[in-house]
Amino acid sequence: MTSDGEKLIVKGEDTLVKRPITIPFDLVVHAIGMDPNLDNAQISSLFGVDLEPNGFLDQGQQLFGHGPDQPERCIHRGARLPGRKPSTIRSPRARLQPWPRLSSANWRRGWWVRQELSAWYLYPRFLQSRSKGELARPQLQRPQLELSGPILKQAFETLVSGAESQGGVEYWIDALKLKQQMFQQALGQGHPADLPLDTFKSLCAFMVSVRRRVGLYLENPAYGEMVEAIVELLSDYQDTSATDERLAAFCARFPQDKKHRWVRDLAAEILHGVDPERYPLMGRWIWDRKANTGVIREIWFDDDIDNITLNVPDGFGTHIMLREELASS
């Protein structure tokens, strides 16, 4: 952004037409989009703090005490700060310090204070030790995906036109719904340990990268080991906080060679089939970082894409981001 002496000149690139643009403005306001912390719901239940409609921590109405031994008190449910009014956002290290002025008997063990945007919440030391176990969750890695608008548009138009002779896009959507119903009936509604071999064979028929390689595991005793792996994979599958570890544990039950790379696709297909709302499709044809191939590469915004290696992880967070990007495009 520059200025010609009278107006502000903004230079950028229109990703739809793939060319640079220059636009003069009288006023430019930088607005940065923000998403609420994924753990806010858990924080809300732990500390009795309300959430505002957009998912951020709500800020309660407060009465401020006077004097060194009168910490601030909150008269409505919401985020609060002991000892003084919220100040400007400082460095993370400065915002994560033990509070020095606490005399209340209930607060003798100390409190930690953290600021998130304009809202504040309390983090007691006696919960800090618990957070290492039941409260701590691995941070979801959500990489930025530079997708090409024109390529996405062309791909969608090609999909729509190509499906016309086969009953339209609606026909294939209904087919996908039927596939999901089969997975949910076989694995989601019943116990995976009781999965009949014939039912598993039927499910494999709908997984292209699996059905040609799974043959060795369609006979006992190998099939029994397969069922054990599926049972572990679907144990508490509603919790997505350790999805990458869940997939890795499933793959670790099988030989770690090129002939068994389909195992990752099998695990991803099962999770997606049982609960497509929680788990987007994460097969290697979507993105395979090791081979640097997949759909993400085909829709990436870079004129030199054929000569570069994308440093994009192939974990759960990447596929969540891809789904969000496609939904908003």
Is residue 83 predicted with pLDDT exceeding 80? no
Same domain, 80 and 225: no
Q: Is residue 24 situated within a structural domain?
A: no
Q: State the number of CA atoms in the 13 A half-sphere of 201 facing the CB.
A: 8
Q: Is residue 110 situated within a structural domain?
A: yes
Q: State the number of CA atoms in the 13 A half-sphere of 308 facing the CB.
A: 11
Same domain, 123 and 87: yes
- pLDDT-based confidence at residue 279 (cuts at 50, 70, 90): very high
Same domain, 103 and 195: no
For residue range 8-46, what is the model confidence (pLDDT) as tens digits? Answer: 888 877 666 566 778 888 887 777 667 787 778 877 777
Give the pLDDT score at 296. Answer: 95
Domain that residue 129 falls in: 40-135
Q: Are 263 and 225 in contact (CB under 8 A)?
A: no
For residue range 202-227, what is the model confidence (pLDDT) as tens digits? Answer: 999 999 999 989 999 999 899 999 99
Give the pLDDT score at 215. Answer: 93
Read off the amino acid at residue 179: K
- How much is the average pLDDT of 272-283? 93
* 103, 135, 167 - which closes a domain: 135
Give the pLDDT score at 216. Answer: 92
Q: Are 24 and 3 in contact (CB under 8 A)?
A: no
Same domain, 115 and 165: no
* Phi and psi based region of residue 294 (left: phi greater than 0; alpha: psi -120 to 50; beta: remaining): left
* 135, 167, 189 - which closes a domain: 135
For residue range 84-122, what is the model confidence (pLDDT) as tens digits? Answer: 334 443 444 344 444 344 344 333 333 333 333 222 233
Per the structure, the count of domains in the chain is 2
Rounded to two decimals, the pTM is: 0.59
- Single out the residue of 76, 114, 81 nearest to residue 96, CA to CA: 114
For residue range 122-157, what is the model confidence (pLDDT) as tens digits? Answer: 333 333 344 444 445 556 778 989 999 999 999 889
Same domain, 189 and 113: no
For residue range 225-254, what is the model confidence (pLDDT) as tens digits? Answer: 999 999 999 999 999 999 999 999 999 999
Measured between alpha carbons, how far is 278 from 60 in angstroms, rounded to an integer?
Answer: 32
Q: Is residue 14 situated within a structural domain?
A: no
* 81, 107, 135 - which closes a domain: 135
